[in-house]
Amino acid sequence: MIPYGRQEILAEDIEAVVAVLQSDFITQGPAVVQFEQALAKEVGAAQAVAFNSATSALHVACLALGLGAGDWLWTVPNTFVASANCALYCGAQVDFVDIDPRSYNMSVDALAEKLRWAEGAGKLPKVVIPVHFAGQSCQMSEIKALADQYGFALIEDASHAIGGRYLDQPIGACQYADITVFSFHPVKIITTAEGGVATCKSKQLADTLARLRSHGVTRDPSLISAEDEGGWYYEQIELGFNYRMSDLHAALGVSQLQRLSTYIERRHEIKQRYDALLADLPLTVPWQHPDSHSALHLYPIQLHDRAERRRVFDDLRQAGIGVNVHYIPVHTQPYYQKRGFAWGDFPQAEAYYQGAISLPMFPTLSAAQQDEVVMALQKALA
Ligand SMILES: *Cc1c(COP(=O)(O)O)cnc(C)c1O
């Protein structure tokens, strides 16, 4: 089976992890700091804080921006459930903004329209999470202008997008957002097995993220109420979690990060080859926004309708091609339907979902394997 995504683990990755196993630190220690610093440098961020997953990073990012009971968080339906669940962890409420039918990212027009309505209804969001779907940046400059106008905070869910660029800036530099979150799950661009990182500009915000990552506990004299208790002393000043990344995971991340640009180049080669080989087939290849240089986490094709998608999906799986579908719109999940959402609420995300198939896309996909995918697709569509 050719999977839709797959990590590459080289001898140097294994050596890096083994070296940590033989060192004094195996939980959060110097390798985590090294990973945070290397990643911050790579994406041009002032601050980076590592977590045990992107889901944890999203949760703590919401808390650090003050999201709580009575607040609204908006994201898109075309994402993994984690982008919405983070609001509910904080006791806030979730709503969605429909996608643009070409980029499959948050529609700026739909956002602007919903904000006008929400202002009248007294339901403006406190936090909005645009998701850089498939690795392609949302139109952050326009979204940031709306954030300034309506006074909400922005978290970029860049789980798909490390190594991507927007308007000639690396995604993660936080020029437009308060916080950017990356995931290092094995299907993503680079991996730490499980893991995530939040980047931001402000040192104070990074300190809050780091404190919430570790039980809400601090040793910072400026935050502690007691005077000179002793060298052992710490205080818990808020409710935090154990969301720490271990040095084993971080060492893998440091090693993988060195291949980031090679991986992105390779993904673009694979994309160009797919674009050429699929040009004459009755399907839509993923459109690229001119402002964005995508990290190309996914290569989602769009077929005519639900019935054709089902048939082609089954045929490809039968032929040993591990295609997948990204994403079942979050608002249609039973859990969200119980919270009042229904099919029909976000027609663009639903229409996109009905025709979507993600073809195999990962750096070690060979030309022969790609030909096999294309031939199976030709046959399924014949
Ligand atoms: C993978 C993913 C997440 C969650 O990442 P984890 O590291 O697995 O917690 C969140 N959002 C999106 C868009 C993702 O693709």
Domain end position, chosen among 257, 274, 309? 257
Same domain, 8 and 141: yes
Q: How confident is the model at residue 168 (pLDDT cuts 50, 70, 90)?
A: confident
Q: How far is the CA of 184 from the centre of ligand 1 (A)?
A: 8
Mean pLDDT in residue range 298-306: 96
Q: Which helix (H) or strand (E) holds 117?
A: helix 108-121
Q: How far apart are CA 213 and CA 192, in angstroms?
A: 17
Mean pLDDT in residue range 287-303: 98
Convert the pLDDT of each residue in 174-185 to its tens digit: 999 999 999 999
Asked whether the beta carbons of 309 and 354 are under 8 A apart, the reply is: yes
Q: How confident is the model at residue 306 (pLDDT cuts 50, 70, 90)?
A: very high
Return the SS3 of 67. Answer: coil
What is the distance, to the nearest Å, from the Cα of residue 15 to the centroid of all Cα atoms in its chain?
28
Q: How far apart are CA 57 and CA 179, in angstroms?
A: 10
Domain end position, chosen among 228, 257, 286? 257
Mean pLDDT in residue range 39-51: 98
Q: How many domains does the chain have?
A: 2
Same domain, 162 and 311: no
> Which CATH number fits the domain that encloses residue 331?
3.90.1150.10
Q: How far apart are CA 144 and CA 178, in angstroms?
A: 10
Q: What order of strands is seen across the sheet that includes strand 292-293? A: 169-170, 165-166, 292-293
Among protein residues, the one whose CA lies closest to atom 10 of ligand 1? 82
Residues with CB under 6 A from ligand 1: 53-55, 79-80, 82-83, 131, 157, 159-160, 183, 185, 196
Among 52, 76, 83, 131, say which to mutate for ligand 1: greatest number of ligand atoms within 8 Å of CB.
Answer: 83
Domain end position, chosen among 226, 257, 288? 257
Among 53, 55, 131, say which to mutate for ligand 1: greatest number of ligand atoms within 8 Å of CB.
Answer: 55
Look at the pTM and tell me if it is higher than 0.75.
yes
Q: What is the structure's pLDDT at 281?
A: 97
203-216 core/surface letters (b: 16 or more CB in 10 A; e: else): eebbbbbbbbbebb
State how far the alpha carbon of 353 is from the alpha carbons of 128, 138, 341, in Å: 22, 18, 16
Convert the pLDDT of each residue in 191-212 to its tens digit: 999 999 999 999 999 999 999 9
Same domain, 240 and 374: no
Counting residues of the chain whose pLDDT is more than 90, the rounded percentage is: 99
What is the distance, to the nearest Å, from the Cα of residue 368 to the centroid of all Cα atoms in its chain?
30
Residue 104, by phi and psi: left (phi above 0), alpha (psi -120 to 50) or beta? left
Same domain, 204 and 246: yes
Q: Which of 75, 39, 285, 79 is nearest to 182 (CA)?
A: 39
Q: DSSP state, 72?
A: E
Same domain, 38 and 137: yes
Residue 278 has pLDDT above 90, yes or no: yes
> Which CATH number fits the domain that encloses residue 242?
3.40.640.10
